[in-house]
Amino acid sequence: MTKQDLVSEISKITGIEKVTVMKTIEALMDTVKTSMASNKNVYLRGFGTFLVKKRAKKTARNISKNTTIIIPEHFVPIFKPAKEFMNKVKTIKI
């Protein structure tokens, strides 16, 4: 499902204009990105949590040059789904 599909579906369910729904989704995504860039987690009860996770410094290999490189510690965004979300996905029948 693309962002446009999501906008269409929400617009159909709620009766709100697509332009308004698009602005709302864009505002949600911008807020999540800004919060995570400020090292703040975003908790959405019943849906999941957007977390900022710290990755430790590690040594890696560049196979083509046969050298080792140091990857410094850094932060990565992750998503941890809520239990009810996970249970709903697990019960999908194909």
58 shares a domain with 91: yes
Asked if residue 1 belongs to a domain, the reply is yes
The reported pLDDT for the residue numbered 93 is: 80
C-alpha 59/C-alpha 42 separation (Å) is: 31
Q: Note down the domain range covering 20.
A: 1-40
Number of domains in the chain: 2
b/e map of 32-55 (b: 16 or more CB within 10 Å)?
A: beeebeeeeebeeeeebebebeee
Digit-by-digit pLDDT tens for the chain (94 residues) are: 999 999 999 999 999 999 999 999 999 999 999 999 999 999 999 999 999 999 999 999 988 888 999 999 999 999 999 999 999 999 888 7
89: Cα separation from own chain's centroid: 17
Eight-state DSSP code of residue 7: H
Look at the block and give the residue holding tokens 């510690």. Answer: 73
The reported pLDDT for the residue numbered 14 is: 96
